[in-house]
Structure 1
Amino acid sequence: MSIKHRKKRNFHTPVLSLADQARKNGQHAGYDAGKEEGYLRGRANYIVNCAQEPLPFRQIHVLYVSSGKGFPYSPLDEAIMATLQGMVAQVTLTDPRQPVSEIALQNRPDLVLVLDGMDIPLEHIDAIRQAGIPTAIWLTDDPYYTDMTMERVHHFDHIFTLELNCVELYRQSGCASVHYLPFAAFTNHYFPITTPSPLHRDVSFIGSAYWNRVYFFNPIMAQIMSHNTVFNGIWWDRLPGYEAYGEKIEHGRWMSPQETNDVYNGTKIVINLHRSHEDDSVNNNHLKIPPASPNPRTFEISASATLQLTDARDDLARFYKPGVEIETYSSPQELLDKVEYYLTHEKERREIALRGLERTLKEHTYGRRINEMLTIIFP
């Protein structure tokens, strides 16, 4: 049969039902999301495994006095103790409930390091100093409780504060050795996981509902919650109409570092909003010293390789480059705008998160901070 006499055939593309088309679109979307997450985790794993500059090991003995306060201070104690044990020849552990001065005089450490120091009897510190043993305190909550810290810092040889604006305060009060030393990321607690996260959220916020946070979020809560969003922390029943959000607000539960890291890893955007220095309902800061320094969560979120949206503090750029290694906002509307933007710009979101991870591992670990401390004390 000639070509021109062949019977014409109609080849029609099958018409998919709406359900089949939706299923197909979902498969493509799931494939794309899995590909993006796989790329992020692969890159993050490479950054984690890159060799970091080694830290010096010192032949010294440190007596570490924990905060004695339990959770949420205990993860800080764990981070410092574990880091010290890998950096010095001997670490002796104790807490404010023990006879610290007797322990120090029996063991004769090269340094007594106290975290927080609000519960330790000051006569113990005085006796240790009189015996010629150097003492140091690492303050945990500046500037929010400076009414109390001002009464204690004079009993120590070296003062380390996580708040830049408190350095001059303590120096002017007569303390000779005062140093700015923020907390950091403990990479045993906060790190990018290598397998797909069991959690899948667009936005997360973890933190107590201080009044400034309630006032900030309340006008935009509906828009934030329109995404796959979860808030966690105590006091969120202060939020007007919080019951309407159901399981989107996990109210009244402290999260362990492991649970927190799981949330960070399973969230596209983690919001950080610092507490206010003017909230007299929880603060003891009658001088109203304003904070300039980032909180510990700043480093912990970035260590988990997720995009952090934080309110800008004056000293933030010392640690991360805004728009490159971290993202900032200065108003509720700007927060909403950037949430919308980064939820639809995966590549930009991912690259900022990875650069933040890399900066954290190079500069903002407890190993780096404690090495800086020991270098000051033992030059």
Structure 2
Amino acid sequence: MKVFYISSGFQGIYEYIDSKIINSIHASKHECCSASLFKGLNHLKEMILEFEPALILTTVGYTFPPQLRDWIDEQGVPIAIWLTEDPYYIDLTVPIIHKYDYIFTIDMAAYERYLKMDHKQVYYLPLGTDCGIHKKRAQNMNYASDICLIGSPYPNRIQMVKYMLNNSNYKMIVVGPEWADILWNYIHRDSLTIIPWVKPELASHYFSNAKINLNIHRPFNLEVNSNSSGVIPKSVNNRTFDIAACQSFQLITPVLDLPIHLKNKKEVVFFEGDKELLETVTFYLKNDDLRKTIAKNAEKKVSEHYTISHSLDYIFTTVEKKKG
């Protein structure tokens, strides 16, 4: 299948998502041509006409130019959108889903919402990890920790990190924007290291060298979200698969469909609340072999079922079946 991928052109994590999708398509049996919206509409149209794709795929949601979408429709080329931030901006995605032939979403709650809107081609599909980037890395004391948390400082994460700092002296690494300002009164502690945002390749080194990775899901009701109807996420974040792919142990706050993907105390360990977090961290830091066994089980499951290549194969197989 000839696939034309339209990327956002944005930096940070979006650049990483675009890159791993494009590289995975190139590595598959399918042909791929790609361009960002920053190329300009006329240039994009010329590229699409020249390439003659069987499918246009994009992760650009509410910022996708309506005039380009209408033009693609006139060319008779089906277009699929993969919504990778559901349901946090669902107020902005609900109005646009009928403009796309295929809807793929990383969250089951968003999937259920779109189904209720009578879209005929809606599918739940995790993004999956890139095992070329997220993989077990060599042990290196520069990245070593008892506890590692990588991610933005959402209120629930701040609360749990401060609780651990106030009630333990474990070596902790926190990676992400604004943490230094938030934890300024803890910076003097030798057991705490704060690092700004890092690229996924470097994140894999921190995952691999942490005895325990904390994976605390984003709240659904943040003011910065566009989720006025309060859709509560039902699906795991993609960091779940990234950590597991590094053969790294993780403690994770549960969401509804987590047991479908990874088994509690077999591949990951669930926890809820500050007190249980501290108790669970203490237990698993004393049980190296059990921790390593759980991490190996998770790596095996993810590498066999939850890579970006698996997800893209699902998209292309779905489209090919529908086209007959």
Does structure 2 retain, via aligned residues, the 8 Å contact 1:326–1:353? yes
Distance in structure 1 (CA, Å) of the matches to 2:184 and 2:234 = 30
Residue 9 (structure 2) aligns with = 68
Task: Write the distance in 1 (CA, Å) between the matches of 2:303 and 2:53.
Answer: 30
Shift of 1:240: 7.3
Give yes or no for the alignment of 1:94 onto 2:35. Answer: yes
Question: Following the alignment from structure 1 to structure 2, what is the Cα–Cα distance between the partners of residues 141 and 247?
Answer: 33
- Indicate which of 301, 307, 311 corresponds to 1:359: 301
Is 1:161 matched up with 2:105? Answer: yes
Structure 2 residue aligned with 1:197: 140
CA change 1:154–1:249 in 2 (3 A) is farther
211-220 or 104-113: bigger deviation? 211-220
Identity %: 28
Aligned residue among 130, 151, 174 for 1:207: 151
Contact 1:96 1:119 in 2 (8 A): no
Give the equivalent residue in structure 1 for 2:96: 152
Amino acid at match of 1:146: I
1:242 is displaced (CA, Å) by 4.1
Cα distance between partner residues in 1 of 2:47 and 2:96: 21
Distance 2:222 2:183 in 1: 16
CA distance in 1, matches of 2:52, 2:120: 24
Whether contact under 8 Å (2:8, 2:38) holds in the other structure is: no
Q: SS in structure 1 opposite 2:149?
A: strand
1:13 corresponding residue in structure 2: none
Q: Identify the residue that residue 265 of structure 1 maps to in structure 2.
A: 208
Query: What is the identity, as a one-letter code, of the residue corresponding to 1:263?
Result: Y
Contact 2:6-2:60 at 8 Å conserved across structures = no
Tell me how far apart the structure 2 counterparts of residues 249 and 283 of structure 1 sit (CA, whole Å).
29
Instruction: Tell me the CA shift for residue 244 of structure 1.
Output: 4.2
Within 2, Cα distance between the matches of 1:164 and 1:116? 19
The 8 Å contact of residues 309 and 328 in structure 1, kept in 2 or not, is answered as yes
Give CA deviations for 1:79-113 in whole Å, capped at 9, x if unaligned.
11111112233210111122233432332200000
Could you tell me which residue of structure 1 aligns to residue 55 of structure 2? 111
**Bigger Rg, structure 1 or 2:** 1
Q: Which residue of 2 aligns with 1:306?
A: 248
Aligned letter for 1:68? Answer: G
Deviation of 1:352 after TM superposition, in Å, equals 0.2
- Structure 2 alignment gaps of length 5 or more: none
> Letter of the aligned partner of 1:141 in structure 2?
E
Q: How far does residue 263 in structure 1 lie from its aligned partner after superposition?
A: 0.5
Deviation at 1:262, TM superposition (A): 0.7
**For the Cα contact (< 8 Å) 1:97–1:120, is it kept in 2?**
no
Q: Does residue 368 of the first structure (1) align with residue 324 of the second (2)?
A: no
1:165/1:290 contact within 8 Å kept = yes
Q: Match for 1:329: what amino acid?
A: F
Give ranges in structure 1 of 5+ residues lacking alignment: 1-59
**Pair 1:319-2:270 in alignment:** no
Q: What is the CA deviation profile of residues 135-178 of structure 1, one whole-angstrom value per residue up to 9, with x for unaligned ones?
A: 00011111100111112222110010000001121122242211
- Output the CA distance in 2 between the equivalents of 1:156 and 1:187: 30
Pairs aligned (count)? 316
Aligned to 2:221: 278
Give me the whole-angstrom Cα distance separating, in 2, the residues matched to 1:246 and 1:65. 46
Q: 2:127 aligns with which of 179, 183, 193?
A: 183
CA contact (8 A) 2:247 2:296 kept: yes
**What TM-score comes out, normalization by structure 1 length?**
0.80
CA displacement 1:25-82 (0-9 Å, x = unmatched)? xxxxxxxxxxxxxxxxxxxxxxxxxxxxxxxxxxx11001113211111111111111
Alignment of 1:244-255 (within 5 A): 244-245=188-189, 248-250=192-194, 253-255=196-198
- In angstroms, what is the RMSD of aligned CA positions? 1.7
Which stretch has the larger CA shift, 198-207 or 263-272? 198-207
In structure 2, how many angstroms separate the alpha carbons of the residues matched to 1:73 and 1:203?
Answer: 26
Structure 1: how far apart are the matches of 2:250 and 2:99?
38
